[in-house]
Amino acid sequence: MEDGKLEVRIGIPVDKISTIRRKSQYSVLINNKQYGAKLSAILPEVDAATRTQTIILNLESSAGFRVPQGAIAR
């Protein structure tokens, strides 16, 4: 979080990463509440142990300070 925006990092299986679209809108569930999010990056590194690639989503501003740091997102 460099610019004050809340972000979510999610590991995606490498065989599904091609279905992820840049700048697309997504929905994430945090503490049983749904928030809109926009894809901002797909990191190039692949985790060899889990065979996942990390994507970064920026939460919409409506999430505000209601999301605690370190919360689990789905």
pLDDT in tens, 18-72: 999 877 788 888 888 888 899 999 999 999 999 999 999 988 866 555 666 666 6
Average pLDDT over residues 5-14: 89
Rounded CA gap, 8 and 70, in Å? Answer: 9
The pLDDT value recorded for residue 6 is: 82
**Token couple for 14:** 């490498």
40: buried, middle or exposed (CB in 10 Å: 19+, 13-18, 0-12)? Answer: middle
- Is the pTM above the cut of 0.75? yes
What domains sit in the chain, N to C, each tagged with a CATH number?
Answer: 7-66 (2.40.30.170)
The pLDDT value recorded for residue 51 is: 96
Rounded CA gap, 28 and 18, in Å? Answer: 19
Residue 4, classed as helix, strand or coil, is coil
